[in-house]
């Protein structure tokens, strides 16, 4: 069983406002969802395919790995569940956090990471994605792929004979949102003493998204409402959330008794917010749209003034998946005690590690 009672702060220096401190014994009676790990789908393409309990189980597993590694000195997994296993890392886009987190996680689990960048292989260029998926999966034990179109990762998963984990596509970024949920849990658990489960901590929190309609907010909408979090999503009118994503989020919210709302006014979105989140306004491949996008997102820069005028909760915290550009959030917020962005970035390691262990380990592959 995970020793979550010992989960501790990893962000320093921070004030008591946003600091992640889960004191020993404070959630020692936390109900865990370990059984849900045995029922995970073979692939991790989007958290829309996972139940709230399965999402919770991955986050709890990540917290356990973080505790054992950072605070108990466990340099490698004692069972080496990926020993003798090769994981293909297919990256058609550059990466910092995802690559460092994934390669170090595979090493921790005893496996071999085979990095294949766009200069090494050209997915879907000289060979169809279907053929590439069949060939590569015949030689490795898992695929971790960072691609462009969602159809690319879907095709790979369909034709691969080994588990496929989505490292990012234009519609989804599941390991990022798992990291976000871990960060939110760490931050708010001390504020809700006596919680019986991760859901007790997350339930009723208000997360405000102020930014682009992109894969990050799509994935947030796929996971957070079903886990008990209310979401207020604000995007410019020219950048709406697709109707299919809205409908799915609405159904999840109804089932979990949470709420999801949409607006084009940042002040409306941050009203009552516990967490304010944004992301880049110009994603990779959109550089030619930068000038127009900066105009379209005028007034969307997250600032203390925005939070005050919109009446965010007094203890609100700020999140951003990085890399950050100054027009998206002021330095006053980004480098403040309210910001948990570097804690959030580090948590990519622990949630990717949890996903690899759950989906690619010897135990999982034998099921």
Report which of 171, 184, 201 is spatially closest to residue 344, judged by C-alpha positions: 184
Q: Is the peptide bond before 323 cis (omega within 30 degrees of 0)?
A: yes
Backbone φ/ψ region at 25: left (φ over 0), alpha (ψ -120 to 50), beta: left
> Please, are residues 276 and 319 in contact by the beta-carbon 8 Å criterion?
yes
* All residues at 6 or more sequence positions from 74 whose CB lies less than 8 Å from its CB, including other chains: 68
Catalytic residue from among 30, 169, 234, 321: 321
CA distance 160 to 178: 24
Both tokens of 3, joined, read: 């020793």
Strand arrangement, sheet containing 86-91: 112-117, 86-91, 142-146, 164-168
CA distance 36 to 154: 24
- Three-state SS across 58-103? HHHHHHHHHHHHHHCCCCCCCCCCCCCCEEEEEECCCCCHHHHHHH
| Catalytic residue flag (residue 321) | yes
Segment 5-8 long-range contacts (CB within 8 Å, at least 24 positions apart)? 5/30, 6/67, 6/71, 7/63, 7/66, 7/67, 7/186, 7/189, 8/67, 8/70, 8/71
Number of Cβ atoms within 10 Å of the Cβ of 224: 31
**Catalytic positions, please?**
321
């Amino acid at each position: 069983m995970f020793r979550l009672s010992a989960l501790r702060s990893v962000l320093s220096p921070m004030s008591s406002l946003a600091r992640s401190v889960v004191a020993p014994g404070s959630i020692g009676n936390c109900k865990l969802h370990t059984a849900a790990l045995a029922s995970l789908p073979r692939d991790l393409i989007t958290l829309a395919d996972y139940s709230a309990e399965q999402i919770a189980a991955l986050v709890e597993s990540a917290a356990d790995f973080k505790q054992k590694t950072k605070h108990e000195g466990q340099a490698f997994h004692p069972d080496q569940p990926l020993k003798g296993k090769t994981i293909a890392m297919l990256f058609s886009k550059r990466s910092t956090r995802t690559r460092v987190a994934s390669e170090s996680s595979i090493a921790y689990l005893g496996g071999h990471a085979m990095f294949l960048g766009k200069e090494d292989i050209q997915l879907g260029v000289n060979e169809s994605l279907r053929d590439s998926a069949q060939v590569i999966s015949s030689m490795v034990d898992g695929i971790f792929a960072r691609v462009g179109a969602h159809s690319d990762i879907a095709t790979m998963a369909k034709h691969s004979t080994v588990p496929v984990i989505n490292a990012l596509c234009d519609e989804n970024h599941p390991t990022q949102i798992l990291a976000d949920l871990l960060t939110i849990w760490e931050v708010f658990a001390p504020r809700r003493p006596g919680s019986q489960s991760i859901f007790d901590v997350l339930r009723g929190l208000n997360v405000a998204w102020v930014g682009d309609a992109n894969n990050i907010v799509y994935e947030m909408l796929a996971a957070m409402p079903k886990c008990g979090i209310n979401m207020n999503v604000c995007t410019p009118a020219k950048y709406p959330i697709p109707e299919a994503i809205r409908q799915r989020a609405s159904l999840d919210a109804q089932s979990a008794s949470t709420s999801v709302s949409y607006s084009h006014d940042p002040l409306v979105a941050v009203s009552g917010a516990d967490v304010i989140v944004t992301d880049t306004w110009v994603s990779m491949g959109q550089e030619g749209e930068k000038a127009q996008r900066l105009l379209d997102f005028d007034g969307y820069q997250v600032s203390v003034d925005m939070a005050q005028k919109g009446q965010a909760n007094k203890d609100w915290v700020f999140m951003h998946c990085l890399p950050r550009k100054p027009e998206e959030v002021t330095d006053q917020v980004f480098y403040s005690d309210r910001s948990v962005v570097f804690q959030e970035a580090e948590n990519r390691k622990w949630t990717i590690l949890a996903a690899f262990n759950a989906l690619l380990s010897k135990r999982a592959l034998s099921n």
